Chain A
């Protein structure tokens, strides 16, 4: 289901020196189709780039992707950086967050302790992320908007 809904802005990017581009390209398409305004920072984005983009575009959510296993190092101090830039946004992280992900619950706790509101594994579909954003941002659709929903 794709919702054409009120404009919310999300900042999206791959953190650190990670160059995996396919996943966020697909996420960008999915979020746009869901009616969100997407600022895609692309691969190899720094904490500061996330924070500056979130400030500049008054983002509702900052979505971090990482697929090369070094997310924990790359995200040290991430929320402090956001705070220093005055960013008050929802934060998600997803991907292959640890090398040899044996116990995802442990990985989830690690990243929740770093301050992320939600933590997703690499099997997450774009629809799962959109559903979570809708819940967390309390995006609701009017009957009129529902009429334009495409499936």
Chain B
């Protein structure tokens, strides 16, 4: 197994040659020329600089369509009518599976019919020139957002194509996304992506990297998400990444979400090397949305309020059409403006809520325990520690489809709607921490007059789309006493 060591220049070049042969557009990648291209970009398109110098949370939507012209129009619309500060380019599913041939067929079909034959922008097929045409036409910084376990060719082409921010990581784009990708192999693939970002960084082009914080997007306990963020941050830092944005997905309880955002920033700064600039990103609710645009706007607004109090550097917004999949550009822009309105109103006042410090302390204790367990599993090597900790279940992600993880952890909300752990599997938390979770869930069980069980989990998964936070039985009414 590979270790947590920087790839050598020779190794970087060797892998680069191999992966660029995977698809014809790989040919056009020229690192020296690409560095010069990045230097020619104006400051307001340099992703890391814009993000790191912001004085309020910046907003970014998700958006990706197959054709270049349509993608330009979509991003310009979201920038102008949605007031997006940062822009995305979401990559299609074929590219995520490294099926560039299928993506090409679908892209050609889209060019003929104009239809939506792909669920994103096939950046590998568009190649370096296509990416640069997008970067030049859109008047803001753009990030590559995807979900690709082996993103080496995608990174080589999009970095050369002028993108300066790249989402994902070896844990966050493997464990929640796929069943059969071996974790050690995925870490090796991301070492290349991060080393390439590091090589640009050393030449003065700081590529921002963003591990995917929401993981499975379904009731993920904050300490598990933060642990994964720090681990991926450490792996990226080893390869020379110096601009890292750590992520966290809203769970819907304001106290827990604010506490988690503060813990994420505090532990990120503590654990990552001093020469890494750490920023944070808050994802608006990633679970099921109400099938009603007015109610969905309510969910989005709670995310905006939470962001104003928790002050992440960036917020990834949702649209009021979330329940039905990919939104229209108008709905996407509406989600951005709803969020902007709430954040800007809330930022102008002081909002003090009790309980945030206690919750933050609990999250930090749990995170430290999980990070210690990874360390203990590694015999001095972080990569080995991560792979073994997932194997034993000492580190685990709820609802993970991957065979590299146990997937034995089951979360449920407590009586206040905070996400606690019902089933721990082998998760490396101490008995006293487990007792806190058990007590909180017992309190909910008493309120609801039922046993703690998987029924709570099932009810909680649907609760927000059903118009509530907590999955209470019998229409969610609390017992009268």
B residues in contact with A22, CB < 8 Å: 218, 399, 461
What does the 1/0 interface line of B170-211 toward A look like (CB < 8 Å)? 000000011110000000000000000000000000000000
A147 to B8: give the CA distance in the assembly, Å.
66
The answer to whether the Cβ of B271 comes within 8 Å of any Cβ in the partner chain is: no
B residues in contact with A30, CB < 8 Å: 454
The answer to whether the Cβ of A42 comes within 8 Å of any Cβ in the partner chain is: yes
A26 touches B454 (CB 8 A): yes
A residues in contact with B293, CB < 8 Å: none
Q: How far is the CB of A86 from chain B (nearest CB, A)?
A: 26
Q: How far is the CB of A76 from chain B (nearest CB, A)?
A: 21
B399 touches A19 (CB 8 A): no
The answer to whether the Cβ of B214 comes within 8 Å of any Cβ in the partner chain is: no
The answer to whether the Cβ of B457 comes within 8 Å of any Cβ in the partner chain is: yes
The answer to whether the Cβ of A107 comes within 8 Å of any Cβ in the partner chain is: no
A121 to B218: give the CA distance in the assembly, Å.
22
A126 to B458: give the CA distance in the assembly, Å.
9
A residues in contact with B125, CB < 8 Å: none
User: In which size bucket is the chain A interface?
Assistant: 10 to 19
What does the 1/0 interface line of A10-39 toward B look like (CB < 8 Å)? 000000000101100110011001000000
Residue of A nearest to B179 (CB): A44
Total A-B contacts with CB atoms under 8 angstroms apart: 43
A43 touches B179 (CB 8 A): yes
B410 touches A25 (CB 8 A): yes
B410 touches A29 (CB 8 A): yes
The answer to whether the Cβ of A144 comes within 8 Å of any Cβ in the partner chain is: no
The answer to whether the Cβ of B328 comes within 8 Å of any Cβ in the partner chain is: no
Q: How far is the CB of B288 from chain A (nearest CB, A)?
A: 10
The answer to whether the Cβ of A142 comes within 8 Å of any Cβ in the partner chain is: no
A19 touches B216 (CB 8 A): no
A30 to B451: give the CA distance in the assembly, Å.
13
B179 touches A42 (CB 8 A): yes
Instruction: Please judge, given known A-B contacts A25-B407, A42-B401, whether A19 and B179 are in contact too, CB under 8 Å.
Output: yes
Q: How far is the CB of B23 from chain A (nearest CB, A)?
A: 22
Instruction: Please judge, given known A-B contacts A19-B177, A19-B179, A42-B179, whether A29 and B454 are in contact too, CB under 8 Å.
Output: yes
A25 touches B399 (CB 8 A): yes
The answer to whether the Cβ of A150 comes within 8 Å of any Cβ in the partner chain is: yes
A21 touches B400 (CB 8 A): yes
A residues in contact with B403, CB < 8 Å: 42
Q: How far is the CB of B424 from chain A (nearest CB, A)?
A: 13
What does the 1/0 interface line of B435-456 toward A look like (CB < 8 Å)? 0000000000000000101100
B residues in contact with A26, CB < 8 Å: 454, 457-458, 461
A44 touches B180 (CB 8 A): yes
Q: Which of B441-480 contact A (CB under 8 A)?
A: 451, 453-454, 457-458, 461
Q: How far is the CB of A49 from chain B (nearest CB, A)?
A: 11
Interface residues in B, total, Cβ within 8 A: 20
A134 to B201: give the CA distance in the assembly, Å.
62
B residues in contact with A25, CB < 8 Å: 398-399, 407, 410
B451 touches A150 (CB 8 A): yes
Q: How far is the CB of B474 from chain A (nearest CB, A)?
A: 14
Residue of B nearest to A40 (CB): B407
Q: Which of A26, A44, A125 has the most CB of B within 10 A?
A: A26
A21 touches B401 (CB 8 A): yes
A residues in contact with B461, CB < 8 Å: 22, 26
Q: How far is the CB of B453 from chain A (nearest CB, A)?
A: 7
Task: Tell me which of B398, B401, B410 contacts A43 (CB under 8 A).
Answer: B401
A150 to B461: give the CA distance in the assembly, Å.
23
Residue of A nearest to B410 (CB): A29
What does the 1/0 interface line of B214-230 toward A look like (CB < 8 Å)? 00101000000000000
What does the 1/0 interface line of B86-105 toward A look like (CB < 8 Å)? 00000000000000000000
Q: How far is the CB of A134 from chain B (nearest CB, A)?
A: 18
A residues in contact with B457, CB < 8 Å: 26, 29
Q: How far is the CB of B68 from chain A (nearest CB, A)?
A: 28
Instruction: Please judge, given known A-B contacts A33-B453, A42-B401, whether A21 and B216 are in contact too, CB under 8 Å.
Output: yes
Q: How far is the CB of A23 from chain B (nearest CB, A)?
A: 9
A residues in contact with B218, CB < 8 Å: 22
What does the 1/0 interface line of A124-151 toward B look like (CB < 8 Å)? 0110000000000000000000000011
A19 touches B401 (CB 8 A): yes
Q: How far is the CB of B306 from chain A (nearest CB, A)?
A: 23
Q: Which of A75-126 contact B (CB under 8 A)?
A: 125-126
A25 to B178: give the CA distance in the assembly, Å.
15
A43 to B454: give the CA distance in the assembly, Å.
19
Task: Tell me which of A19, A33, A44, A150 contacts B454 (CB under 8 A).
Answer: A33
Instruction: Please judge, given known A-B contacts A43-B179, A44-B180, whether A21 and B458 are in contact too, CB under 8 Å.
Output: no
Q: How far is the CB of A18 from chain B (nearest CB, A)?
A: 10
Residue of B nearest to A127 (CB): B455
A residues in contact with B407, CB < 8 Å: 21, 25, 42
Q: How far is the CB of B315 from chain A (nearest CB, A)?
A: 25
Task: Tell me which of B178, B410, B453, B458 contacts A19 (CB under 8 A).
Answer: B178
What does the 1/0 interface line of B384-413 toward A look like (CB < 8 Å)? 000000000000001111010001001000
Shortest 5 CB-CB contacts between residues of A and residues of B? A29-B454, A43-B401, A21-B401, A44-B179, A26-B458
> Could you name 15 residue pairs across A and B whose Cβ atoms are closer than 8 Å?
A19-B177, A19-B179, A19-B401, A21-B216, A25-B407, A25-B410, A26-B454, A29-B423, A29-B453, A29-B457, A33-B454, A43-B179, A126-B454, A150-B451, A151-B451
4 other A-B residue contacts (CB within 8 Å) besides A29-B453, A42-B401, A125-B458: A19-B178, A21-B400, A126-B454, A151-B451
Residues of A in contact with B (beta carbons under 8 Å apart): 19, 21-22, 25-26, 29-30, 33, 42-44, 125-126, 150-151
Residues of B in contact with A (beta carbons under 8 Å apart): 177-180, 216, 218, 398-401, 403, 407, 410, 423, 451, 453-454, 457-458, 461
